[in-house]
Each structure stands twice: as structure tokens, then as C-alpha cells.
Chain A
Amino acid sequence: MASSIENNNEKLTLKSSDGEEFLVEKHVALQSTLLQNMLDSDCSSADVIPLPKIDARTLALVLGYCKKHADASSSKQGELNSFDSEFLKDMDMGALFNLVLAANFMEIKGLLDIAAQKIADTIKDKPHQEVREIFHVENDYTPEEEAAVREENRWAFEGFP
């Protein structure tokens, strides 16, 4: 934490998978454990840091989250909570999945938690057929196989189509 304060004005450049560059203040980047470790080990002090797994749209979202959380003081937890829920509201599932992958890769625990939780909340209490539609998952079961899976834990499907 001490290093983030003394180098408060330093900036670094992140490059998305589709080649877009983002100039980020260091204390914002430190929200990511991955970037923190890179900076601590001093392997990327001046260069552009490539993030080959994250596209520009997702990276912009991630950095928006990091900036909000880096700038807010700990006393504003309530404000951060409402920012978090507003942040994911109305986001389409594709964007949400990319966000989870990015948060996982960049090790941003808070973002990973809220995004994965949002997906889990979408799935729960829904019939599996509806889950397929929401996430565009192809059903690769034969009717017999699907029946067998249901039969393994028949109680879990009671009350569902």
C-alpha cells in the first residue's frame, strides 16, 4: 500500500487483445493482484503491459470498476455497494462472462465475486432448458442421456419441466 501512495501520479499502459491501449493511474491498476505482482517484481515498469485475453470493451469496464474502488475511501462502503449493483445491472450475459474471465485473469477479487454471483443468481431456480436459452448453450444430450441425468437426482427436478 505504501508504494501506491508514494507513486500516486505514476501511470502505466495496458493493451487489450484487440490492440487498444489504456493509460491507467498506478493506484487504479493496483486493484488487480496480477498487475500488483507484476509491478512489485518490477518486470514492467516502463513498458506497455499486454493483456492478450481481454478485449477493449471488457477492459474499459474493468478499469471503470477499478477506478471507482481505488478512488473511494473505505468509509463509503454503502456508495460502493450501490455502484456495484448498478454496474452490473442490465449487462448482457456475454459481457458478464467476459467480465468474469477478465476479473479472474487479472485477479480482481471484488469484481470476480459480484460478476460470478450475478451469473449464479441468474441461473438459480430456473429450469435447465431456460438456462440453455439464456446462455446460448447447445444441448448435446440425447433424450435418453438427459433422462438419465435427471434420474440421478430426480428430486432436484421436481416442480420443474
Chain B
Amino acid sequence: MPEDLLVLILHRLIQLSDYFRFGAVCKPWHAAADHQKVHRRRDKQEVPMLLILPPAKTAEEADYHCRRLYSVTQIEKGPPQFGASSSLSPEVLWFFSRMVSITSTGSSQGTFIMRANCKKSPYLPIPSLDPIDDAIVNITNLKVLEVLFGNQLNGTIPENIGKLANLEQLAAASHQQPDRKSVCFAYELHQPQFSNNRTRQIKLG
């Protein structure tokens, strides 16, 4: 199989784990993947994986604290059976499956870091097609939202964050800090009845 063709396929493997397993098929495939390593590192935004403590079958295993990585597509197929200590909220699982369809288009930009309001707060860096995707505003109990603004945002606050009724903290990780005025504007649009009180409670950082 010509390497040109292998490269075309490699470019379309979204998960980094698929990329590495591609190289285990045979030596020519490994060589193709190896030649694309620099390109992959430079140009491709990797879909982050979930780092989860799997349920321990024995006390010895629980002691070992072995975390495992799960890809978004693995989660989509059916979440692994997590122990009670590391359960994922349905919102997070749903959000992840949404991300799979978005990242499948191969045009992810920008990054979300979301801490959903669930007991053990899984910490999820998530790339998204749209800075504030509808998926995120539908998670109504979201309390903390950290946004790494992409270039396409120009540092402005997207209006639909006004839909996040339970937001307590909004943080931007880039040089552009969210300003109170545009947050107020977003909330006036979506929740005029209590926008003033709400927006004053939101911690900006």
C-alpha cells in the first residue's frame, strides 16, 4: 500500500490512540505514522482523553491507584463501568458524545475546560467547534466555566452564556479577560428577570 494513501488515512484518525495502534499493524504502516509524527504534533489539535480511576475488583487493586485513559469514542460506545467513587454525571457523558460528533468533522477550534457540577468534578478539557456550543449551554447546572478563547472569538463574551442559569464562575485562560459589561448583556438577553443580581454573583477571572 503506498505511503501517500496511508498518510491520507492517518490524517483522518482523530484519536491519538488510533494513531499509535495504526503503527502496530506492520512495519510500513509504522514508518508512515512515524514520518507524520512532526506534522501530527504541529498541526493537529488532539482530542483530550478522560483520565478515570476504574472500579477496583480487589482491595489490592484499589490500593494500586491505577488510572486509565479513555477516548471519547470509547465513552460513546458505552461508558466503562465506573466505581461509585468516580461516576460521571449523565450530562458529562452526553456532552462527550456531542463532542464526538463535533470533532468528527475534524475542524475543532478553541478549547473548553469544564468542571461540571457533580460530586467528584471530573476535569475535562474539551475542544469544540463553536466557542460556546449549544451543548454547553444545555448543561444548566454548570457552575464553573473556563474558556480558552480561540482567535475567532476576539475576546468577546458569547451571548448564549446567558443561558447558564447556575453559573458561578467564568474564567478565561487567554489574555482576554471577560468583562462585567458583556456578561451583563448576555444575561439581559436570556434571563432579563434576574440578570442584575445574577451577573453580580458571577466571579470573573
The answer to whether A47 has its CB under 8 Å from any CB of chain B is no
Cβ 8 A contact of A128, one of B8, B21, B71? B21
- In the bound assembly, the distance between CA atoms of A160 and B11 in angstroms comes to 22
Q: Which of B15, B25, B30 has most A Cβ within 10 Å?
A: B25
Q: Is A8 an interface residue (CB 8 A)?
A: no
Contact code string B37-80 (vs A, CB < 8 Å = 1, else 0): 00000000000000000000000000000001101011001000
Q: Determine the main DSSP class of B at the interface with A.
A: helix
A119 contacts B9, C-beta separation under 8 Å: yes
Q: What is the interface size of chain B, counting residues whose CB is below 8 A from a CB of the partner?
A: 32
A101-B2, A137-B29 given; A112·B24 CB < 8 A:
no
The size class of the interface chain A forms with chain B is 20 to 34
Q: Is A104 in the interface zone, CB < 8 Å from B?
A: yes
Partner-A contacts on B (CB < 8 A): 1-2, 4-5, 8-9, 11-30, 68-69, 71, 73-74, 77
Return 8 A-B CB contacts under 8 Å, by A number.
A100-B8, A124-B13, A124-B15, A125-B18, A125-B73, A128-B24, A131-B25, A156-B20
Chain A contacts to B: CB under 8 angstroms: 97, 100-101, 104, 112, 116-117, 119-120, 123-125, 127-128, 131-132, 135, 137-141, 146, 149-150, 152-153, 155-160
